[in-house]
Amino acid sequence: MGWPLAVAAALMDRNKGSLWKALAALAGGHLLAMAAILAPFTMLLWLVEYQRPIQIGAAVLVIALGIYLLITRRHPRFLARVPPTKLALWSFLAAMAHGAGLMLVPIYLGICRTIETNAGHDAADTLISGNLGIAVTVALAHTAAMTLSGGAIAWGVYTYLGLKFLSRSWFNLDVVWALSLIAVGILSLVFVH
């Protein structure tokens, strides 16, 4: 969701190059946030031993966050106007807050695969045989997808639609985001092993 900031940077500078610089800063912050989460998990073998309590705790935390977002509907004001020099920091904080790295941990650990054996044993095998290169590859692929999709939207809005379109047709996905967190949390509790 950093693409509006990329559009704002280009509109403020009246320069298309600022859009690409902003996207690079956003991608860097996002990648750093995922690395900060994924790197430690490559070294935590004990995670497999406590998989069930961690899944339950994470599900409850996700449900609580969804409920909090439904109750508290306004964004902090300091996030509304981010100068282009602080986009990497904003992207890092937003990615950490939205769980960009955490959502990739189950994929990296192999916990979400449907297998006939115990998911915990399979995750331990992935941890033991895996290395930091896998985490870096996952983080780079996710960051590339985020940057390309957000960049395409930012470029289209900046090039074709402009500021009038944004001010007249802005839509808020906060309720959808909160409900999806609650639903995922409940599903996680239902299917906990």
pLDDT digits (tens, 9 = 90+) for 13-29: 888 898 999 999 989 88
Tens of pLDDT, residues 52-75 = 887 888 888 888 988 988 898 776
pLDDT at 128: 44
pLDDT at 96: 75
Measured from the Cβ of residue 180, the count of other Cβ atoms closer than 10 Å reads 13
Residues 6+ apart with CB under 8 A from 124: 45, 48
Measured from the Cβ of residue 76, the count of other Cβ atoms closer than 10 Å reads 7
Residues 6+ apart with CB under 8 A from 85: none
pLDDT at 123: 55
pLDDT at 152: 93
94 with 2: CB under 8 angstroms? yes
Below-50 pLDDT ranges, the chain: 114, 124, 127-128
Considering the entire predicted model, what is its pTM? 0.53
pLDDT at 120: 55
Counting DSSP H helices and E strands in the chain, the numbers are 10, 0
